[in-house]
Amino acid sequence: MVDNADDLTLGVDLGGTKILTAVTNSQGKMLSRDHSITPATKGHESVIQSILESAHRALEQANVAISELTAVGVGAPGLSNPETGILFTSPNLPGWRDVPLRDIVQERLGKKTFLINDANAAALGEFNFGVARGVRNFIYITLSTGIGGGIVIDGKIYSGAIGAAGEVGHMTIDDEGPICNCGNRGCWETLASGTALAREARRRIKEGIRTSILEYAEGDVEKVTAQVIHSAAEQGDSLAKELIARTGYYVGVGLANLINIFNPELIVIGGGLSNIGGMLLEPAFKVAGERAYKEAFQAVRFASAELGRDSGVLGAAAFALQEMKRQSP
């Protein structure tokens, strides 16, 4: 058993493909870390059961009892309301509609639980323990399978009227662009995400354009991913380089919009797609500089997420601790 039990929180980062769970203290030190696969296609009951199993493994690994926890924080993708604890819908979790996720987890674990959007959780993680420490106005962007965002204004997550703010991946960039999982057309994530990059590569390959991309995908066009395209680009493949630059262009258009609307002092960029680095981000920053107000662009700096894949789970835990303190008399 551990002393200072009042510091301990269980953080859960629920994604469309993975569940990451950790016991952390108030300084952001992880005492355990459990990683498992999200059974997304099996419905919300199966996913919730997987969350609970992951939670128990993380507690066991840290040698901590549930009674020693201050609270549980769950970061989840999609539209949710932190006040009611309801996950309205999530493009990455098929069939989820108005699921009272917070209350279900709270009841089954027997510990006070809080729900937050996953990108907001990642923003809080970077704010409390990462590259955004001490920054009062910043935006966290995750470039991954989709695109998510967390907006921090005056040191607080801006969550909007019902907790749905920060869905930056679903601002319209091209009103005649591809149809998005959310039902809209031409969303930022349909043009600038890892999924968008892979989709465009597959389309070009099927058109018969000469490229070595397939060699990195076992000759199977359906196995073409952003990672595969990056590998081909690093070896000089012209189509791969063109597609990454094109994706970077659209990343930049979205960044320009955010700079003009929010005038942040910092934009933190995380997510697997951002690991491509300069080949993607240099064209993005160039386009953002051309399209945003000059003065606002000069006032912003860009930084890579410091916590990597742990920003969401640490932020979910920090949110739970913050909410417990806020609710204490």
Whether the per-residue pLDDT at 4 is higher than 60: the answer is no
Contact criterion met (CB below 8 Å) for 49 and 101:
no
C-alpha 16/C-alpha 67 separation (Å) is 29
Q: Taking the domain 135-305, which CATH number applies?
A: 3.30.420.40
Tell me the C-alpha distance between 256 and 245, whole Å. Answer: 16
Mean pLDDT rounded to a whole number for the chain:
94
Beta-bridge partners for 35: 20
pLDDT tens digit sequence for 15-62: 888 999 999 999 999 999 999 999 988 989 999 999 999 999 999 999
3 state DSSP class of 14: strand
Distance CA 78, CA 90 (A): 4
Give the pair of three-digit tokens for residue 22. Answer: 């950790």
> Residue 176 — very low, low, confident or very high, per pLDDT cuts 50/70/90?
very high
The domain defined by 5-126+309-327 folds into Nucleotidyltransferase; domain 5 (3.30.420)
List pLDDT tens digits, range 118-157.
999 999 999 999 999 999 999 999 998 889 999 999 999 9
User: What pLDDT, on the 0 to 100 scale, is given for residue 55?
Assistant: 97
Give the residues across from 19 on adjacent strands.
14, 36
Residue 6 — very low, low, confident or very high, per pLDDT cuts 50/70/90?
low
pLDDT classification of 163: cutoffs 50, 70, 90 = confident
Domain boundaries, the chain: 5-126+309-327, 135-305
Per cent of the chain over pLDDT 90 is 86
Residue 328 phi/psi, 5° resolution?
A: -70, 140
Cα distance between residue 221 and residue 213, in whole Å: 9
**Predicted pLDDT of residue 329:** 66
CA atoms lying within 13 Å on the CB side of residue 100: 6
pLDDT of residue 15: 87
Tell me the pLDDT band of 2, cut-offs 50, 70 and 90: very low
Segment 197-206 mean pLDDT: 96
For residue 25, which amino acid is it?
A: N
The helix (run of H) or strand (run of E) holding residue 269 is strand 266-270
Residue pair 143/308 in contact (Cβ under 8 Å)? The answer is no
